[in-house]
Structure 1
Amino acid sequence: MDIQQLRCFLAVAEELHFGRAAERLHMTASPLSRIVKELERDLGTELFIRGYHQIQLTPAGQEMVRRVPSLLAEFDRLRNEVLIVAAGADRAARLGTSHLAPPGVVDAVVESVEKSRRAEVTLGPSAILLSAITRGELDAAVVHLPVDDPGVEALPLASYRFLVAMRRDDELADRTEIAVADLAHRDVVSYPLTLQPLAMQQLRDELVAKGLHQLRTLPHADSALIAAHVRRTGDLTFTLAPETGGSARVYDDPAFAIVPLTDGPKFHLGLVWMAHRAADAVVAGVVDAVRARWVDGEMTI
């Protein structure tokens, strides 16, 4: 039983489909099936019940699903922490940042860190960056808060000021401001929960609690595609102030209007890192540099 076999098993167990699992692992279904069968042979038991159109986990497979994720996570942490030790304290800081974070905030974080060391920056959704943080692949990341992992520490950086984006011919377009209650019976679209499940769910729950009844998430996280949806359908969406370099820039078009939301939910951006790595020279340097830049506390964007 080896690491590759466990990764292949877990992908199949999560997808319950060899084709989808193979695509996820960037391989073809035939070698993936062979690897899983080799694992079953090594264990002396079947992990899947293979049907014509679907597969199911056996009791042994269910036990593997319960245990394997933590084993792989610990292996990934060990591998990355060994590489960190080998690279030494003068290595580059590995930073992640949400691709939806306002550029002004990201630039300030990177500039703060690069005063003392080189920084390598990775862009991606908050959920992906958080996974990379826990695996030790990143030293710190700028993501949307809150984070529900007790092993992750966070430094709040900014809170969002929301705007409502709509077509120029919308009945609300001439307003100077809008409250959530004004949107109660309108169709409003938003980013998918997968961007950062906890933060996005809290955002959604607060909007619903304030009376927004027809809020739905779109399957994509591309602000240009959401703008195209608004233009085509007349639905509304939420965006950020354009002066921050946020997503409102896609609405810099005479076909759209954006109006401030007076009672929008609390939504935060922060720097996160693993608590057990706080003594690492690079992690500590990143946190200290950013904390010094944000000495006056969280900004509003």
Structure 2
Amino acid sequence: MPLCKRTEGEQDQLRGRRDPGLGGVSMMESSQSEACSAAFSGRRGTGSTSRRLLAHCSKAVTVGSLEEKIEAGIFPTPPSLGRCKFDRREKITFCSWELRKLASSHPNLVMVKLDATNLASITEAAAFVGDHLKDTGLNVLINNAGILKGMTLDTVSEEDMEDVYKTNVTGPLLVSKAFLPLLRKAAQGSSQKGLSCSKAAIVNISSLLGCIELVPATYSKPVIAYRCSKAALNMLTKCQSLTYKEDGILCTAVHPGWVKTDMGTQEAVMTVDESVRGILQVLPNLVDEHNGTLVDWKGKKLPW
């Protein structure tokens, strides 16, 4: 019963690269007919990684965004955009067309607007999802929106830091708070003991670039704002794990690897499929010992 997601986006060199993340809610059915739901929060665009992760969803409600209104979604099948030679607006339009085409042929797919940097939008999306799920609650919330700007200590600006933190840290914080009542409802309604994604969980998509202990080995790519934001996201995950454990909610950060996407570039060492297969195997196996930790796509614990 794999529940997961991640996505890649595109932005020019001056603005930096974006890992936009999808917003969505996916209800899945296991072989034991146990209903599960998963929500994915995002900011801009759509990507091949998310589409393939979400290809395993049998029932879905998509919370997402597009262009400045931020519209995205869950893909029940994995069409591939590849490295399209479109500018950002053209690519977003193409992604929107694919989403709407999928929604028209899959009655289980519903698209909902969500801007992970706008509190009003987050609140509205959470209310919609709550109405859709009714009394079942939400099993998994995956925060994957992200921005990467290739700035060094000499070139990073105040605006860069604020922009990256708003998406990579404040966004997951606000989205988690908005969807918390639904996660609590799922945990309270579960007969399972211990913590797990099939009960209730918050999964924050992070990066080993946020690991302070590993900086000497990874500093060939400074990306200062991104590194600092992921370190902050890791701290947020730890704080969430201590706070929400009493509610029966698992909180874990996941490093998906350096993946060949628009954001990761072709310099990356992993394909989308390799990352996706790994994460799909990791999420169902997350338990109490993973609460408040950072793991990679293989399930290996990473140092903070």
Q: Would you say same fold, with TM above 0.5?
A: no
Instruction: Give 1 or 2: higher strand fraction.
Output: 1
Normalising by structure 1, we get a TM-score of 0.27
Higher relative contact order structure (alpha carbons within 8 Å, sequence separation ≥ 6): 1
Instruction: Give 1 or 2: higher helix fraction.
Output: 1
| Structure possessing the higher radius of gyration over alpha carbons | 1
Normalising by structure 2, we get a TM-score of 0.27
